[in-house]
Amino acid sequence: MLSEVLGGINRVQVAVVTPYFYTVEFECVLDKHLQSLPYSDTNTLQMSDRGKVLWTMSPEENIRDEIPPGAQRVAVDFLDSKTFCKNTHHIKGEALMRKRHLEILGYRVVQIPHFEWNSMELSTQDAWKEYLKRKIFKELSP
């Protein structure tokens, strides 16, 4: 669903490990105009002779590690119930420290609490997509 919001599967990376050894669930890169940037060229996708996608990429230089000037890395973090104090919406210290460390590394962190994501207000796929757009693009505007 996140790839649909950002414009393609090549615009999201899953399970990115940071220098602090945190695993970012989903990472994307937005340019200064808040447009998502691809991690790899779409023409480098390998197809077998039977029309199936080959998931291993042999040329590693096709994946972009550096980001252009003015762009920002965005970490999308889904927060489950264990991240919050019992019977409240207060985030525990470990999750706050993780967010601060990611911000030190240059990430813009978008946290999505479980009680918002699973609410009745977001009971359709269109509502989820609008929510993701609002959280990713509106919160990151200067």
Q: Are 128 and 1 in contact (CB under 8 A)?
A: yes
Beta bridge partners of 91: 84
pLDDT in tens, 125-134: 899 999 999 9
pLDDT in tens, 70-98: 899 999 999 999 999 998 999 999 999 99
Question: Can you give the pTM of this predicted structure?
Answer: 0.76
Instruction: Output the pLDDT for position 47.
Output: 54
Q: Which residue has the tokens 């390998």?
A: 46
